[in-house]
Amino acid sequence: MGFFAGIAALCTPIALVVFWIFATRGRRNHPKWEVLRRFRYAHRGLHDPAQGVPENSMAAFRRARAFQCGIELDVHLTKDGRLAVIHDKSLLRTAGADVIVEQLTVPQLKSYRLEGTQEKIPLLEEVLEVFQDGPPLLVELKADYFDVKKLVETAVRTLDQYRVNYCIESFHPGVLLWLARHRPDICRGQLSENFWRCRGELKAWQAFAMTNLLSNFLTRPDFISFRQEHRWVPSVWLCRKLHRLKMFGWTVRSPREMEQLEREGFSVIFEGFQPPLHAPVWAQKTA
């Protein structure tokens, strides 16, 4: 009995390590990365509250387009099946109204203004018009209320109507799973962070699985987009060094942070300063 217990004690950690390695693998070398890696990305557009340019506003997106930098933006599905570009599920922080985006129609949504300006909450198609034949977009799909299938189908159908370079990312593995099954041609990324530090409403097993990217073997992401302060999570190291997945780091708030992350092989999502347009050649080679 002692012999078999010893074998089990030896094999169990080995099996767990093998599972960990298997579970965190993704998909490598998507051709879209050749375009994506050349840019730095303005977080929620090139916004600047001091100049009256709110986050995720048309002013912020036009500013980014004029500067020729890529953008990261957030998308929710409205009550009437349209795609609103806004980060929070509630309008309380950005528009001063404690209402839920998914419970509003577009006319209702358009009645609000962002951060005390005259800027309205844009629809995704309004942003895509600005970025046709332009820099790439990181489109984050927010699967908070509506079913994932409806959200992703609507987003993909809308994106297909415009000449834009883009990839899709989400915290919700179901978004990536739908893309893997139905639109494998689209470059897809898993968003994550150390959820033990900001667990919120997540159960313990969900926080563990999402922090450690354990859905990768099902969703096969082309890249990982991780909160840069948490990038020392072991699974991030494994994805970078063993699986050789592409990496984004968010949110970078200084040139010094930007340079450090790019030297580590991350593409950057920045805010609060205006860096040079393109990532340096050495960063493009390591990304």
DSSP string covering 11-70: HHHHHHHHHHHHHT------TTHHHHTTB-EEETSS-BGGGTB-TTSHHHHHHHHHHT-E
Among candidate residues 275, 238, 213, 285, the one with its CA nearest the CA of residue 33: 285
Cβ atoms of 67 and 46 within 8 Å: the answer is: yes
Q: Is 270 exposed, middle or buried (0-12, 13-18, 19+ CB in 10 A)?
A: buried
Q: Which of 30, 43, 76, 172 is catalytic?
A: 43
- Residue found under tokens 């300006």: 117
114 SS3 class: coil
Active-site residue flag, 47: no
Cβ atoms of 264 and 36 within 8 Å: the answer is: no
127 secondary structure, DSSP code:
H
Q: Which of 30, 47, 76, 87 is catalytic?
A: 87
Q: CB neighbours (10 Å) of residue 259?
A: 15
Active-site residue flag, 76: no
Within 8 A by CB and 6+ apart from 71, the residues are 41, 42, 44, 45, 46, 61, 64, 131, 135, 137, 138
Active site residues: 43, 87
